[in-house]
Amino acid sequence: MEKKNLDWANIGFGYHETDKRFVANYANGAWDEGELTSEANITMNECAGVLQYAQTCFEGLKAYTTEDGRIVTFRPDLNAQRMEDSCKRLEMPVFPRERFVQAVTDVVATNEAYVPPYGSGATLYIRPYMFGISPVIGVKPADAYQFRIFTTPVGPYFTGGAKPLTIKVSDFDRAAPHGTGHVKAGLNYAMSLHAIITAHAEGYDENMYLDAATRTKVEETGGANFLFVTKDNKVVTPKSESILPSITRRSLMVVAKDYLGLEVEEREVEFAEVKEFAECGLCGTAAVISPVGKVVDHGKEIVFSSGMEEMGPVTKKLYDTLTGIQMGRIEAPEGWIHVIK
């Protein structure tokens, strides 16, 4: 299939409507067969559960063109599992994992012309999501739901590319203990908007959220997990029950241990020890890894030894290895690459 004539290198990280999307409806205790449709707009009642009580969750993954010309996605089974966890926490019906992966496959295949070519730096972003669509006026779960997947070609998440970010320690909390921080609920992201707009207005790229209970431990940003590298090249990621379990972060820990031979730790990270790390990065589906050069805590600066000019050496090896696996340049662990065609 001939590719769309798009400026792949400058497409940006935004929404570009593609030809087809997947839609399935849940009613009377069961999901229908679902279908691919060209209709990008959604019609719902004014009292729909998603509009009244924000009963919605979502996922994010990407499709890539590999070096040998295949179209693939990265570990979609883990997105299916994470969405199942989100649905259970939000009292929503689970969309079966095998149907989730098949729907991803079908949507990408039918929008093949929008999958950016190898080497362009762009990817096809895939957004599965579910929401309560039936009218709800009392506070309770909806009776009917819609599950959808759309795609959009995107460039790099952070427009500065690999230039290290400057982030601030936020005065806001992202998630509470025993709350919903570990699931991908839409409301979690709505509640982070004020904090990120505030950070941008103050000249920062992102926020570092601390734990809500003690405000002494590193949690995550509004849309990515933290990854730190010690001065002796140990890779450390924060552990907390209120952190979203990033698929990219989990994959990077395997890459660090099994491909690069580095020691890895997932543990609580005290903010007081951040100044001792040599490198810092933000990892997630959208960004893969974005290096952090500086953390500002109410005027006090922590500048990582990796500096403000480029990725630190270990972060770069992690980035190059994972993207090499995704793009087919490096052999992947079994089950990581799902071939569309």
Task: Establish whether 184 is a catalytic residue.
Answer: yes
30 Cβ partners below 8 Å, 6+ apart? none
275: left (phi over 0), alpha (psi -120 to 50) or beta: alpha
Q: Between β-strands 337-339 and 71-74, what pairing exists: parallel, antiparallel or unpaired? A: antiparallel
Q: Distance between CA atoms of 44 and 278, rounded to whole angstroms?
A: 51
Which one is catalytic: 184, 217, 294, 317? 184
Q: Which residues are catalytic, by number?
A: 184
